[in-house]
């Protein structure tokens, strides 16, 4: 019923010809509530509670009622619904209890050690893989393939992340190239059809416009090396785990670091050959 109700509400929201504005507004409000965590949580809670009390509910609706059997059924139903004592000390069953475990309640365990800890780990993973530096560079990558390039934003990121790849006069000239390039993107139908930065690089090479927009071409090639450097580094560390194990753990870090650098340089060279 949940999925079907969502489909019906979605149809009401999108149906502009047979529904009024008030009806679409009510449907949208109901749809948003159904998407919330609280609503789904209460649904699961009701499923558990109502499932336990269904037998009792059906029995109490009968006209001919056996009071004795009804009371026994009430007692049995109440017994199945457990109310946990969240203030009781939590003791793990995975290892021998320690004295400090008695200071941890069930509420603390499920709220802090499980719920909060899970979110902390997810946020840490996202922060480590998508920090501000990475997000800026990915934004730069996506903006280069957009229909209209934000020249000010790109020049700011170039100055911030590629100071050694462009001299100050080149950064000024890069801005001028992007202004002209923006106009050409508007008038050139083939250039407007480019959907990703790799296709844009290929287009510049095939049309030899890379010679005209040589600074734009340089920036695109620098951006294209980002996925390669990330992927090759991860593959390098994965390979390292294979040959540096408990039987070969005496290899020095310097030797492994040098081997990893050689491996990455070889991967990048093969990619651009």
pTM of the model as a whole: 0.43
pLDDT tens, residue order, the chain (273 aa): 778 888 888 888 888 888 888 888 888 888 888 888 778 877 887 788 778 788 877 877 776 766 667 777 777 777 777 766 778 777 765 555 555 555 778 788 777 777 777 777 767 766 666 667 777 777 777 777 777 788 888 888 888 888 888 998 998 999 999 889 888 888 888 887 777 788 888 888 988 988 999 998 998 888 887 655 544 555 555 655 555 555 455 555 565 556 555 655 665 566 555
Among 139, 155, 142, 153, CA closest to 216: 155
- Outline where 111-213 has alpha helix (H): 117-129, 132-144, 151-161, 168-187, 189-192, 197-206
| Cα–Cα distance list, 99 to 48, 92, 93, 104, 110 (Å) | 35, 12, 14, 10, 19
- Tell me, what's the pLDDT at 214? 92
pLDDT of residue 235: 56
What confidence score (pLDDT) does residue 173 get? Answer: 92
In angstroms, rounded to a whole number, what is the distance separating the alpha carbons of residues 177 and 162? 17
């Amino acid at each position: 019923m949940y999925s079907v109700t969502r489909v019906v509400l979605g149809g009401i929201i999108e149906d502009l010809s047979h529904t009024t504005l008030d009806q679409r507004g009510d449907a949208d409000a109901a749809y948003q509530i159904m998407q919330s965590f609280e609503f789904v949580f209460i649904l699961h809670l009701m499923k558990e509670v109502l499932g336990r009390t269904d037998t009792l509910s059906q029995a109490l609706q009968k006209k001919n009622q056996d009071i004795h059997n009804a009371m026994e059924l009430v007692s049995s139903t109440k017994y199945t619904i457990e109310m946990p004592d969240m203030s009781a000390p939590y003791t793990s069953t995975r290892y021998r209890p320690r004295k400090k475990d008695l200071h941890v309640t069930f509420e603390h365990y499920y709220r802090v050690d499980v719920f909060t800890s899970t979110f902390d780990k997810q946020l840490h993973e996202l922060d480590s893989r998508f920090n501000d530096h990475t997000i800026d560079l990915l934004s730069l990558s996506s903006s280069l393939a957009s229909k209209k390039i934000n020249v000010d934003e790109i020049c700011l990121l170039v100055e911030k992340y590629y100071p050694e790849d462009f001299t100050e006069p080149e950064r000024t000239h890069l801005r001028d190239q992007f202004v002209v390039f923006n106009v050409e993107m508007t008038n050139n139908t083939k250039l407007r059809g480019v959907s990703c930065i790799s296709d844009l690089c290929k287009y510049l090479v095939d049309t030899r416009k890379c010679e005209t927009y040589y600074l734009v071409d340089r920036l695109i090639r620098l951006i294209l090396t980002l996925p390669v450097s990330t992927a090759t580094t991860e593959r390098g560390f994965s390979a390292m785990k294979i040959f540096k194990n408990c039987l070969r753990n005496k290899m020095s870090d310097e030797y492994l670091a040098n081997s990893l650098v050689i491996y990455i340089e070889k991967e990048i060279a093969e990619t651009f050959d």
